[in-house]
Structure 1
Amino acid sequence: MHAYYFDNLPGDQRAPHHGEELADIAILDKLGVLHWQIPVSTNGQYPEIDAIAKERDYKNRDVITITKEGLGELYESKIKMFYEEHMHEDEEIRYILDGSGYFDVREHPSDTWIRIAVSAGDLIVLPAGIYHRFTLDERNVIQAMRLFKDEPKWTPYNRDATTDTNPHRQHYLEVISVN
């Protein structure tokens, strides 16, 4: 995992858009973003992921693969949808098994984007209520294990006045203001 400020220049969202380096990765910690580097298993066993899942009460998981070939005609619309700024009322947990991409998170209170480059072996947890977006990188392939506290669901709430007052967003802001 590698994090830096997004440059906000026009261009393909899948390009690196590498701005200024984060001086301190503790910024992600302050935003509540958790991250680990866990080597991808060659035998399909994931004891470290299992331990984290148990500790954090993740009961379900699945694997998703996103490729241009796999999504066919839906590829461009899906990539645009993932890249809409949104939040969830649940944590977003992804363990990257193959490929690579970017999670962009909003720094608070500056509202600047921090780009987090993820690749195989990265486990990232975005807290409920954080504004974020996702895109593949220029390789156009990622395979990720998704972990869930309860039944798998992925409900995005695109940023607007309503999401700014969402109780999960408000709770997130309270938690990070204490950090």
Structure 2
Amino acid sequence: MVQAWYMDELADDPRLPHRGDPCSPVGLEQLRRLGVFYWKLDADKYENDPELEKIRKERNYSWMDIITICKDKLPDYEEKIKIFYKEHLHLDDEIRYILDGSGYFDVRDKEDKWIRIFMEKGDMITLPAGIYHRFTLDEKNYVKAMRLFVGEPVWTAYNRPADHFEVRGQYVEFLAQAE
């Protein structure tokens, strides 16, 4: 089961867990109220998994690729890690399925506080368009993930502030209605 918690305010190594003191866990229902959805799948059978195929069909995830994030596999690794960790939003949902390794997705809550979501093998997450978020590896410095999209992929990240985008306004409206 996924683990999520409110982050501390320390600015040291982002690959550390950054659990607040005391730790304040966040449950799946609280994540759902932010528009974040989670599934636990069998990553060892991702190529022929009927559960994954069902999710892809229901949510119209028609495009897929696999990315390996580690020093040996990702060109411009250091620069990409910095880009992934810079707070941003997308105009489309971000869907990631962890096939191996682990890392963290951080999302903002309604009060603009960071929630850290630990992702490991078998975890799949959908972040809604317009949510401010970021990603980092953990101390193992390795993750292999499937990236899914509705239609053709759009890789553009808009760094904060990006409140002028219509999708951000729609997301803020969604948050207000979710109370």
TM-score range, shorter chain: over 0.9
SS across alignment from 1:41: helix
The amino acid across from 1:9 in the alignment is L
The amino acid across from 2:151 in the alignment is D
After TM superposition, the score normalised by the length of structure 1 is: 0.93
Residue 175 of structure 2 corresponds to residue 176 of structure 1: yes
After superposition, the Cα gap between the structure-2 partners of 1:8 and 1:173, relative to the gap in structure 1 and judged at 3 Å, is same
The amino acid across from 1:166 in the alignment is F
- Please state how far the C-alpha of 1:43 moved relative to its aligned partner: 7.2
User: What's 2:164 paired with?
Assistant: 165
CA distance in 2, matches of 1:124, 1:52: 12
Instruction: Give ranges in structure 2 of 5+ residues lacking alignment.
Output: none
User: What's 2:139 paired with?
Assistant: 138
CA distance in 2, matches of 1:146, 1:81: 17
Q: Show the 5 A alignment for 1:14-53.
A: 14-19=15-20, 20-22=23-25, 24-42=27-45, 44-53=47-56
- Please state how far the C-alpha of 1:23 moved relative to its aligned partner: 5.2
Deviates more, 1:124-133 or 1:166-175: 166-175
The amino acid across from 1:88 in the alignment is H
Instruction: Give ranges in structure 1 of 5+ residues lacking alignment.
Output: none
- Please state how far the C-alpha of 1:11 moved relative to its aligned partner: 1.0
Where do 4+ consecutive residues of structure 1 move more than 4 Å? none
Q: Show the 5 A alignment for 1:1-179.
A: 1-19=2-20, 20-22=23-25, 24-42=27-45, 44-71=47-74, 74-108=76-110, 110-160=111-161, 163-179=162-178
Note the alpha carbon deviations across 1:60-79, whole angstroms, 9 max, x for none.
1111111112236x222111
CA distance in 1, matches of 2:15, 2:5: 15
Note the alpha carbon deviations across 1:59-101, whole angstroms, 9 max, x for none.
11111111112236x2221111100000000000001000000
- Please state how far the C-alpha of 1:166 moved relative to its aligned partner: 1.0
After superposition, the Cα gap between the structure-2 partners of 1:43 and 1:99, relative to the gap in structure 1 and judged at 3 Å, is closer
| % same residue | 52
Note the alpha carbon deviations across 1:104-134, whole angstroms, 9 max, x for none.
00011x1100000000000100000000000
Instruction: Say what the alpha-carbon RMSD is for the aligned residues.
Output: 1.3
After TM superposition, the score normalised by the length of structure 2 is: 0.93
After superposition, the Cα gap between the structure-2 partners of 1:66 and 1:178, relative to the gap in structure 1 and judged at 3 Å, is same
SS across alignment from 1:134: strand
SS across alignment from 1:17: coil
The amino acid across from 1:10 in the alignment is A
Q: How many corresponding residue pairs?
A: 175
After superposition, the Cα gap between the structure-2 partners of 1:95 and 1:23, relative to the gap in structure 1 and judged at 3 Å, is closer
CA distance in 1, matches of 2:11, 2:128: 28
SS across alignment from 1:171: helix
- Please state how far the C-alpha of 1:176 moved relative to its aligned partner: 2.0
CA distance in 2, matches of 1:64, 1:153: 15
